[in-house]
Chain A
Amino acid sequence: MFWAILSGIEGNLPAYKAVLKDIQRQPIRVEEIYILGDLIGPRPESEALVQYIRETRSHSTHICMGWWEEQLFNLHGLRRDPDAIALKEKYGAAAIEQLWNAVSRDSTDWLRGLDFGFFELDCLLAHGSTLGCDDELTPDTHPLTLLDRLLRSDANTLFCGRSGLAFQYQLPHSQITSTVKTIGTPTSEPVVQEYSLKPRQIVGVGNVGRTLDQASYVLYNPNNNKVKFQQVAYGENASAVSASRGKGFGSY
């Protein structure tokens, strides 16, 4: 069993097609494809990308919503930030009109039907985390914050795409001592408890469409927990770089 996990197509149809081609070219059979949001972005090609996915999506392709979808829903008054303050702060006022014009009402309705995320086996797959699509986890995020995101859903692995970064952050072993004294036990000894955790990890799955001519995604084997990072050159870079060769790490 193998999964391909990607995020952040951002309306870049050539990048998405290149990734699909790379998945098909793998020596192993990829049974499930997870797209962790940001199908769209503030670019006019977003509508065509959504249409393409709607027409070609198979039952083994699972899609959840991302930060850009949430911004679109905000513009339609369907989320908590109808004035699109977060979008304005991050990308400027022009992005509001660009995003509004990029996706039709029909496609917006379809995007609204997407899941927030997925929990498969012991893995949580979401754009940000259970906190929300805007929860941006990176290798520089405090390890206890990362651990918190895993423990909130009791997942062993969290795949996320908000940062656009490709990384594997493993927590092989964690321990801590808790000493509790309550009002009910004034004369007895405090209760001392040792906590330890089994290995957990957070995987940033990269970004498909943001960087011109260079897409990234992740292949995952749930049976042995191996993660392989894929970089796919396309467009003008396609002939210069042998796609996905020697760029990953680990083995299947």
Chain B
Amino acid sequence: MKIAVISCIHGNLEALNAVLADIDHQGADQTFCLGDLVGYGPYPNEVVEIIRDRQIPSCQGCWDEDIIDGLNACECSYPSLLAEKRGRLAHEWTDAEVTAQTREYLAQMPLTLRHENLCFVHGSPQSQHEYLLPETSAFIALERVLSTGADVLFCGHTHVPYVRTLSDGQLQIRVVNQAQANAQANSQTLTTPLKRIINAGSVGEPRHGKPQATYIIYDTLSEQTIFREVDYDYEKTCAAIVSKGLPPIFAWRLSKGLEFAEKADDPTHVCER
């Protein structure tokens, strides 16, 4: 079975339409969405309408959550002060823009989706706001996959697609349990199973250094992942960002496929909630 996984559309209607056309062209059997339908971009209602009408299973992203529960749903919402300042402007604009129907759809989105041995989340199983970066401690990354019971964990949130395979894990363990009568130390070695994290990138706000929309195609039989980069008329989206009153910086960075604000501070911390 060939599945397409998309994430972080962020109100970018042009990019979403181009990606959905590419998915059709690739012949994917099923599409899953990892959330962040709104925020940053100029067409949050239209994007939600398409996802809803096409009945694409979608889990809730951090921006979707913040529109429902209010900004700063978690202190990890932004990786830097600069990102927070810009994000606040985008949140306020989006909050005023979205319709009741859009809000209703965002509110009912699940935090997690499952399909056979695959699990789909926005940030991590721990939180929509937690970043699972390629450089996140491999032990923490493995714990996140194991906590779902799945073999493959699909996530988004970082806007840069990657495939991370976690293998050959070994943990030496020595336990003294005082509740046991003799309280002797019990030693063992745990070998962990091979697990995989696949980040789907971003449809509407890519940050891999180019303006093309990104998503992934995953073959459940061969377990192979294909990174997809899709051309679209990003200048049209940039113009709409400016004309609709969103901060022009969002248009600039969309045209570059970069977010320098995220480079200002260390975003690798783990959500402690």
Contacts and interface: CB of A to CB of B under 8 A. Distances in A.
A57 interface: no
A46 to B, nearest CB: 26
Contacts of A179: 164-165, 167
Contacts of B178: 165-167, 206, 216, 229, 231
Interface residues of B, number: 42
Given A144-B192, A176-B167, A183-B227, A151 B174 contact: no
A245 B171 CA distance: 33
B192 to A, nearest CB: 7
Interface stretch (B47-55, B91-99, B115-123, B140-148): B140-148
A86 interface: no
Contact of B170 (A130, A132, A174, A178): A174
A247 to B, nearest CB: 8
A125 to B, nearest CB: 15
A195 B270 CA distance: 17
A165 B176 CA distance: 11
A232 to B, nearest CB: 13
Given A181-B162, A183-B201, A184-B208, A151 B169 contact: no
B190 A143 contact: yes
A165 B179 contact: yes
A183 B173 contact: no
Interface in A158-208: 165-184, 186, 191, 193, 195, 197, 206
Contacts of A177: 138, 166-169
Contacts, number: 126
A147 interface: yes
A166 B161 CA distance: 44
B237 interface: no
A142 interface: yes
B8 interface: no
Interface in B211-257: 214, 227, 229
Interface in A125-155: 130-132, 139, 142-145, 147-148, 151-153
A242 B160 CA distance: 63
Given A148-B140, A176-B192, A182-B161, A139 B229 contact: no
Interface of A: 130-132, 139, 142-145, 147-148, 151-153, 165-184, 186, 191, 193, 195, 197, 206, 216, 229, 231, 249
10 contacts: A144-B146, A151-B137, A152-B272, A168-B175, A173-B172, A178-B164, A180-B164, A182-B134, A195-B139, A229-B178
Interface of B: 134, 137-143, 146-147, 160-179, 183, 190, 192, 201, 208-209, 214, 227, 229, 270, 272-273
